[in-house]
């Protein structure tokens, strides 16, 4: 990809298709009525879990706690209740990738919840970061273009999307207001 592709990742061409309407109403209802699974890998600890945080129309508390634990502040050793909208955003992304491309690899979590102290100690972190509100994650699916992953999250229009495309290569996703940035 040329420099122009990196100037605006929302317009970058990856050769992969993004959802236009994701699904019709009936398909969407069927998708969200199924058990909601996340396949998470925490690089910092080597932990890998496939968790079901929702089934039979309700939160599966054991699976929800496991998902929250995988998205915890590793440095501070703190697990908090993660925003359900964030888990659903990750599930929507994964569902599209499974359906469209047969994805089986786990989502590699770089960061989820951050305590105020961890956030303060994190280079480049926003002072009022959605990480401190349990509403954000940084991560990626290794092997898929970062620009595509960010564009896919952006297609859901569920919050902020940060494209970290230079040396770090990951996507920030949050369920705050809709906005985009590139670093």
pTM metric for this prediction? 0.87
- Which residue numbers in the chain have pLDDT < 70? 1-23
- CB count within 10 Å of CB 88 equals 19
Length of the chain counted residue by residue: 183
C-alpha torsion 142→103→89→183, nearest 10 = 20
Delineate the domains of the chain, giving CATH numbers in brackets: 37-182 (3.30.1380)
Say whether 6 sits in a helix, a strand or coil.
helix
User: Residue 1 has what pLDDT?
Assistant: 34
pLDDT digits (tens, 9 = 90+) for 119-130: 999 887 888 899
pLDDT digits (tens, 9 = 90+) for 72-109: 999 999 999 999 999 999 999 999 899 888 899 999 99
Share of the chain above pLDDT 70, in %: 87
Instruction: Please write down the HEC assignment for all residues of 48-84.
Output: EEEEEEEECCEECHHHHHHHHHHCCECCCCECCCCCH
User: Residue 13 has what pLDDT?
Assistant: 44
Nearest alpha carbon to residue 87 among 137, 29, 161, 142: 137
């Amino acid at each position: 990809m040329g420099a122009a592709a990196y100037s605006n990742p929302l317009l970058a061409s990856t050769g992969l298709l993004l959802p236009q309407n994701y699904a019709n109403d009936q398909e969407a209802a069927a998708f969200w009525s199924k058990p909601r699974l996340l396949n998470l890998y925490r690089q910092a600890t080597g932990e890998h879990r496939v968790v079901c945080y929702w089934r039979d129309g309700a939160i599966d508390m054991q699976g929800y706690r496991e998902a929250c634990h995988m998205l915890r502040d590793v440095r501070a050793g703190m697990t908090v209740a993660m925003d359900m909208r964030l888990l659903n955003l990750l599930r929507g992304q994964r569902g599209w990738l499974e359906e469209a491309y047969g994805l089986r690899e786990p989502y590699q979590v770089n960061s989820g919840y951050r305590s105020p102290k961890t956030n303060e100690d994190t280079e480049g972190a926003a002072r009022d970061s959605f990480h401190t509100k349990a509403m954000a994650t940084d991560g990626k699916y290794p092997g898929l273009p970062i620009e595509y992953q960010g564009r896919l999250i952006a297609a859901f229009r569920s919050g902020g999307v940060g494209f970290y495309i230079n040396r770090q290569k990951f996507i920030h996703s949050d369920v705050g207001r809709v906005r985009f940035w590139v670093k």
